[in-house]
Amino acid sequence: MTQPAVTTAESRLRDYGLRVTRQRVAVLTVLEDHPHTDTDTVIRQVREVAGDVSHQAVYDVLRALTASGLVRRIQPAGSVARYEVRVGDNHHHVVCRECGAIADVDCAVGETPCLTASDSGGFVIDQAEVTYWGRCPRCA
Q: How far apart are CA 66 and CA 17, in angstroms?
A: 13
Residues in the chain: 140
84 is in an annotated binding site: no
| Dihedral Cα 74, 75, 80, 81, nearest 10 deg | 30
Residue 136 among known ligand-binding residues: yes
Q: Is 107 annotated as a binding residue?
A: no
Distance of alpha carbon 55 from alpha carbon 20, whole angstroms:
19
Annotated binding site for Zn(2+): 96, 99, 136, 139
Annotated binding site: 96, 99, 111, 136, 139
Annotated binding site for Fe cation: 111
